[in-house]
Structure 1
Amino acid sequence: MLTFETPQGTFTLSPQRLAIAGWAGRDQAGVQHHIEELAELGVKPPSSVPLFYRASAQLLTQAPDVEMLGGEGSGEAEVCLVSDSEGRLWVTLASDHTDRKLEAVGVAESKQLCAKPVATQAWALEEIREHWDSLELSSEIEENGHTATYQQGTLAELLDVDTLLAKLPTALKQGEFLAPNTLLLCGTVPAIGGIRPSACFSMTLNDPVLDRRLSHVYTVIELEVAQ
């Protein structure tokens, strides 16, 4: 069960489907940058763009502390579309936390291994659709005892929401829209200084037009890998 605070009140849902849009950059040069960024870690390039990776909805969590196996994982701040039980669309934040060691073996498998932290606040999509591109996505990590900016960009760098929804596979749709009780992570902006792990990950979605923001912080509890 997930619970979201919104300007219109609180709503809850039991998610039934989770998908993660990969290689969802609007600028193909930016997409290629991310592909090359991951290639340095041994990750094979995608067969097509964008791709919609499926993952278990049970991975979704709003807990502040999240257990992860080993220390090879890292977060990725993403805008997340939430379709509630009635099919109304909301916007929140989520982290596509991914095991980078396993990612070199298989991207889909690496995404399935890690919990997906989700913020507890959301906005109605209809309130921001007209200024979607101006929304600012950022994240920070703890590094050598200091807070470092890890990601920073605007949603103009990613596929716009209508284009993304139009490309959805049938399994995620009801009619022409995102199926009810479904969460879709919509892509990310590149990491500054390269992909790397951190025990603490914070992310923010800023709306400069309506002067408000969504944010979420989680701490990684590293579980020992038995040999």
Structure 2
Amino acid sequence: MTELVFELPDGSRVPVTVKCLLNGGYAGRSQDDVAAHVAELAELGVPAPTVTPCLYPVAPYLAQQTASVPAQHGKTSGEAEWALVVTDDDVLLTVACDHTDRDLEVHGVAWSKQAGPDVLGRRAWRLSEVADRIDTLTLTAWADGEVIQSGTLAELLPPSYWLDQLRARELAVPGTVLLSGTIPMRPDVDQFAGSWRVELTDPATADTLDLAYTVRSLPEPVC
């Protein structure tokens, strides 16, 4: 099993053994906007979900705190997200990036999410300490140094929604990690970048959780 370690603002470090990893999808706060996005993706060949929002279980070992992501080809990209981490005695909030295989996505979104890691930050906040201002937190992503995503958590379904979903499924247990789904991506920026950086910022404290990684091409297969 994968063990992650998160540093909290007070300097304490919280180890978490990931037992269940879940990716939210089509998780915009406005489901009318989500429906429009589903229609756009369908035109690109991405299969439409039967319900929204979606919840995709992925292999726990894909939760990683890494600075390098291997890719089998040039059509993979990240997605700026936040993540909930259930610990033995609390729930943490951190920054995350769901690195997705876009070629595989047209065959199945769930499959595409198994083909790359969910990269998580090394620092986190206690959810209880930011819950009263969750919608003001900002999420920004850079692809090769250019801003490709920028918004607030008000654009996404809140952590409280996903915690209710976890409780209903008896998954709100230590070792569960859930990624939020993502905010819109700028169409004029090349998402197939060689590096990704994501920041989750609390304007009230000016504190920022961040992650950054490069995309490393694997050697050509011999077959």
Q: Distance in 1 between matches of 2:162 and 2:14?
A: 24
Task: Note if contact 1:97-1:115 (Cα within 8 Å) is conserved in structure 2.
Answer: yes
Task: Note if contact 1:87-1:179 (Cα within 8 Å) is conserved in structure 2.
Answer: no
Among 182, 191, 195, the residue aligned to 1:188: 182
Q: Distance in 2 between matches of 1:64 and 1:46?
A: 32
Q: Distance in 2 between matches of 1:225 and 1:154?
A: 40
Q: Distance in 2 between matches of 1:172 and 1:224?
A: 41
Identity of aligned residues (%): 37
| Deviation (angstroms), 1:52 | 0.7
CA RMSD of aligned residues (A): 1.7
* Cα distance change on mapping 1:223 and 1:165 into 2, 3 Å: same
Task: Note if contact 1:74-1:196 (Cα within 8 Å) is conserved in structure 2.
Answer: yes
* 2:23 partner SS: strand
| Deviation (angstroms), 1:130 | 0.3
Output one character per residue of 1:69-95: Cα deviation in whole Å (capped at 9) or x when no partner. 2111100010000011x1410000111
Among 212, 215, 220, the residue aligned to 1:220: 215
2:52 alignment counterpart: 49
Task: Note if contact 2:143-2:191 (Cα within 8 Å) is conserved in structure 1.
Answer: no
Task: Note if contact 2:66-2:213 (Cα within 8 Å) is conserved in structure 1.
Answer: yes
Among 163, 169, 173, the residue aligned to 1:179: 173
1:153 alignment counterpart: 151
Q: Distance in 2 between matches of 1:114 and 1:104?
A: 15
Q: Which runs of 5+ in 1 are unaligned?
A: none
Output one character per residue of 1:133-191: Cα deviation in whole Å (capped at 9) or x when no partner. 0000110011xxxx211100101111122122223375552xxxx22111000121010
Among 178, 192, 201, the residue aligned to 1:197: 192
Q: How many residues align?
A: 218
| Match status 1:211 vs 2:209 | no
Q: Distance in 1 between matches of 2:100 and 2:44?
A: 13
Q: Which moved more, 1:101-110 or 1:41-50?
A: 41-50
Q: Distance in 1 between matches of 2:37 and 2:202?
A: 25
* Cα distance change on mapping 1:70 and 1:169 into 2, 3 Å: farther
Among 77, 80, 83, the residue aligned to 1:80: 83
For 1:1-227, what aligned pairs fall within 5 Å after superposition?
1-8=3-10, 9-84=12-87, 86-142=88-144, 147-168=145-166, 170-171=168-169, 173=171, 178-193=172-187, 196-226=191-221
Q: Distance in 1 between matches of 2:39 and 2:218?
A: 29
Task: Note if contact 2:69-2:216 (Cα within 8 Å) is conserved in structure 1.
Answer: yes
Q: Distance in 2 between matches of 1:64 and 1:82?
A: 20
TM-score normalized with structure 1 length: 0.90
* 2:166 partner SS: coil
Q: Distance in 2 between matches of 1:122 and 1:101?
A: 32
Output one character per residue of 1:76-122: Cα deviation in whole Å (capped at 9) or x when no partner. 010000011x1410000111111000000011011011111111000
* Cα distance change on mapping 1:74 and 1:167 into 2, 3 Å: same
